Chain A
């Protein structure tokens, strides 16, 4: 038991180190050996939020939320159709999911960059939302299809017999029953969008910069202000850790989307 506790501590220590650093004042942060009793200060957080970082956090929240809603709106009906009807080439969608998952981000980054320059979508939140569809939409289709496959069809068939149409059976029966699946999928797409670094680096300049890229800008232009950097890092990791604990049971399933059946 002690071994396990030590192991947990060892694995988490890098993250804990960063978090404790964000609550220390300038000089204390770099004292070695690290001090475990120190004056907790929120100065770093106050400093970070006074700058442009607040705007970056807003950008991250807005783009990740809109990207999630959009990919669910498009992907959930599609997943339902794939689950309930037989289409020739449905296997292709699965292969498609997998291929987009394997492609390194830069494979989409270059063409999107060139197209966005023509369309004036560089440095816009809309541009980010659209490119996030490259990974979000296939993820939603794949995850929700698995959830719909797990629902018994008999309830919908009973509704058909009672005169309900396909749309009504979907919205009044299948959708409410798959609420846990919807929540899980929504959290996944939100996390993937929130964690994105590469597309934001490539496609934003100043207006639409998201939090992960804004942190890097701290480092470069304010010459390693570790207090601020660690405070900003703590702020963007907290929602992620909280949300992923909610979906931890489905984590592996989501991360292997497309390759494993069921």
Chain B
């Protein structure tokens, strides 16, 4: 013990060699301290203390609930009748595959995702191109464009609920002024999903715009100038020079919007309540109804587990593609 003490950080004063004790400043000011094994061990210990609580909490609030969700999905839990709780095995999952309303909800989610993401990418990209190069007031313009995406989703939903309500809405009035049809957006099954899509596009196209604007501003100027000097038309410059260069940002923005497109819950809850009929009932919302309106929590859990599995798989594939794209460029 006494032999190893000089390299130990513990202040075991009694056993420290007299030479070391005589000149503490000498070893304190040398880098030797950093290379001692005990210093590394102490460092590692402190870092574990730093990390430990977070890992524990993450385990408790994310992993544990997901395990609980999985377990619940294997039971017949009905909140209106907790006594009926039975182990159900895979019954819920078999039921899900046969549930027409579930498949309908998947189809509606697919349409919602497709249209919101496509429109956001097209509009976001177009506006980014329009703003690119107009540096004078760019900061100000950019700041105003972020407003829709930072608003509380509830406020976004309320704004569009008002705008889609006939008689009180400026949108309705404008359409009338232009001689266009004024559909009863939220109660007409043909338009209800479009009402949700429009609200979601308004909220999130700025995200695509911001990412692409950042990419456009970092473009190297040489290839663009070289192409122009070679007599390329504006379209050719865009198609063969700009587009390939901003492709990574485009892919990443698309992937993120796709992942988040399953999160339109507040819009649907406030604007349509899933209706009319089941016209805007996405899977997320259907599971909510099964679990909390009809109290079939076991069944709702099974729907969510299926949905979670599919979205996780799709996101991993999409992210893989995105990272690959980014690395290739």
Contacts and interface: CB of A to CB of B under 8 A. Distances in A.
A251 B210 contact: yes
Contacts of B77: 114
Interface string A121-137: 00000000011011001
A105 B263 contact: yes
Contacts of B211: 252
A119 interface: no
B115 interface: no
Contact of B58 (A3, A77, A137, A194): A137
A162 B28 contact: yes
Contacts of B270: 216, 219
A241 B149 CA distance: 10
Nearest to B266: A197
A30 B167 contact: yes
B315 A134 contact: no
B66 A18 contact: no
Nearest to A201: B269
Interface string B126-152: 010011001001000111111111111
A6 to B, nearest CB: 11
B54 A137 contact: yes
A11 B130 CA distance: 14
Nearest to B172: A32
B54 A78 contact: yes
B153 interface: yes
B46 A110 contact: no
A80 interface: yes
Given A104-B284, A112-B65, A198-B266, A212 B154 contact: yes
Interface in B236-282: 252, 255-256, 259, 262-263, 265-266, 269-270
B304 interface: yes
B216 to A, nearest CB: 13
Interface string A109-122: 01110110000000
B152 A212 contact: yes
A107 B146 contact: no
B150 A240 contact: yes
A237 B65 contact: no
A21 B162 CA distance: 10
Contacts of A141: 54
Contact of B155 (A103, A237, A259): A237
Contacts of B255: 259
Q: How large is the interface on B (under 10, 10 to 19, 20 to 34, 35 or more residues)?
A: 35 or more
A163 to B, nearest CB: 5
A233 B158 contact: yes
B319 A259 contact: yes
A87 to B, nearest CB: 7
Given A157-B34, A244-B150, A259 B55 contact: no
B146 A244 contact: yes
A198 B263 CA distance: 10
Nearest to B70: A111
A197 B154 contact: yes
Nearest to B31: A161
Interface string A157-183: 100111101110010000000000000
Given A191-B150, A237-B152, A14 B65 contact: no
A130 B61 contact: yes
Contacts of B34: 157, 160-161
A52 interface: no
Nearest to B32: A161
A25 interface: no
A226 interface: yes
Interface string B173-200: 1000000000000000000000000000
A151 interface: no
Closest 3 CB pairs of A and B: A78-B54, A111-B65, A77-B50
Interface of B: 28-31, 33-34, 42-44, 46-48, 50-51, 53-55, 57-58, 61-62, 64-66, 68-69, 72, 77, 127, 130-131, 134, 137, 141-155, 158-160, 162-163, 167-168, 170, 172-173, 202, 206-207, 210-211, 214, 252, 255-256, 259, 262-263, 265-266, 269-270, 284, 287-288, 291-292, 297, 300-301, 304, 307-308, 311-312, 315, 319, 322
Given A14-B148, A75-B54, 9 more contacts: A4-B134, A14-B159, A32-B170, A80-B50, A98-B315, A114-B72, A195-B151, A251-B146, A260-B252
24 contacts: A11-B147, A14-B159, A14-B160, A33-B173, A78-B55, A82-B51, A98-B319, A104-B284, A106-B287, A114-B68, A114-B72, A133-B61, A161-B30, A163-B28, A195-B151, A197-B154, A198-B266, A201-B269, A202-B292, A212-B154, A240-B152, A252-B214, A259-B252, A259-B319
Interface of A: 1, 3-4, 7-8, 11-15, 17-18, 21, 29-30, 32-34, 74-75, 77-78, 80-82, 84-85, 87, 96, 98-108, 110-112, 114-115, 130-131, 133-134, 137-138, 141, 157, 160-163, 165-167, 170, 191, 194-195, 197-198, 201-202, 212-213, 215-216, 219, 226, 229-230, 233, 236-237, 240-241, 244-245, 248, 251-252, 255-256, 259-260
